[in-house]
Amino acid sequence: MSAETWQDVPLAPPDSIFKLTAAYKADTFPQKVNLGVGAYRDDDNKPWVLPVIKKATQILLNDPNLDHEYLPITGLPEFSAGAAKLILGADSPAIAEGRAVSVQTISGTGANHLGALFLSRFYHWDAPKQIYLSNPTWANHHAIFKNVGIQPIDYPYYDPATIGLDFDGFIGTLESAAPGSVFLLHACAHNPTGVDPTRDQWKHIAEVIVAKNHYAFFDCAYQGFASGDLNNDAWAVRYFVEKGVPMLVCQSFAKNAGLYGERIGALHIVPPTKDAADRVKSQLSVLQRSEISNPPAYGARLVSLILNDSALFDDWNRDIKTMAERIISMRNELYRLLTEELKTPGSWVHIINQIGMFSFTGINPSQSQALIDTFHIYLTANGRISMAGLNSHNIRYFAESLDKVVRGQV
């Protein structure tokens, strides 16, 4: 028998976002704009290394005791503890009662995977293994859950008619789903829509989840990055803990610390008792060991320094505010240009009502394609744009191009 040639392996399509970025890089048009990438850019369209990260890096480099030994399987303890306080709150009852289980992961993607894998193995599924995902959601969510044998199903979230939240549809699905269903919730700055529930709506969501004995799978990739306030962006997560909602939280430091390539994240599971927490941590350790042995040290040490030093933490808060405020200012300017100067047909108030890195513009796939083909403005087919890709140099060009596309002048 001949050696395996892999001829029957189907050729997979390239990732849509990375394909978009490659097309942008290959384009020689001088005014090209990349609104696809989910990474912060400064007003000169450059990646921004946070000043606090530069400061923390120098501290690490000058530490005579720094080595390159393995971290524990569940990660750097002072990082995980600091990360838990950041998302759950320093005064969280879950932390005080010793029932918050925190494990360092390969950024938010790794946290989602480890959380999904743990649920796949140990959650008491009364029906087929399924998770409810918002329609739409981060594209990678679907692949992550399918990879561990959990079937994604949609729940209504985005309402194209209002370019806002389909709250009635969302609540209706929570109420009609089988008891004990698992729902993935975006803690803040929903990706890709930028549409978040209000606090009163979050309270209603928590109430139904408790009544139906559902499980909340939080994904939090934008704490601080959404509003510029770390505590404000963690409100929903902390409220759910306070109300005793069964839950876990996936956390990423890619966006809010600008550590995209260092892959720094954490998974926090909140069981009802310390005994259950000890059992959960023991199994997370087994799962992590079989997959990555132990997580990387460098980024965790940087974030740990920042989380556990009050002066550095204050610096970080300022840096976060800088990023969030620039994005908010781009929202305000784009709204002004479209409504006041260009008088673009339609309502554009959703641009300033949405929050975080992304905005759903409300344009259709053919209009999105026209922006790419005619104006060299790269965005996803569903009309999502990264507000971080806009700046004082290109926002007018984008607004004028969008106006032409909406008016059908292409």
**Residue 138 is a catalytic residue:** yes
Cα separation, 87 vs 231, whole angstroms: 8
Token representation of residue 217: 């799978």
61 Cβ contact list (under 8 Å, min separation 6): none
Strand 130-135 to 182-186 pairing: parallel
CA distance 358 to 369: 18
Angle at 197 between CA 129 and CA 125, to 5 degrees: 15
Question: 3-class SS at 303?
Answer: helix
Q: Is 315 a catalytic residue?
A: no
DSSP H stretches of helix in 123-249: 139-147, 167-176, 199-212, 230-233, 235-242
- Alpha helices, DSSP H only, in 12-165? 16-26, 51-61, 77-88, 93-96, 107-122, 139-147
Q: Which of 166, 202, 255, 348 is flagged as catalytic?
A: 255
Q: Which element (helix H / strand E) includes 395? A: helix 395-406
Non-local CB neighbours of 397 within 8 Å, separated by 6+ positions: 31, 33, 375
Measure Cα distances from 28 to 43, 256, 376, 385, 386 in Å.
21, 31, 9, 21, 21
CA 101 and chain centroid, separation: 20
Catalytic residue among 219, 233, 315, 319: 219
Tell me whether residue 348 is one of the annotated catalytic residues.
no
What does the block give as tokens for 141?
């969510």
* Beta-carbon contacts of residue 92 (< 8 Å; ≥ 6 apart): 84, 85, 100, 238, 241
C-alpha 124/C-alpha 215 separation (Å) is: 11
Q: What amino acid positions are annotated as catalytic residues?
A: 138, 219, 255
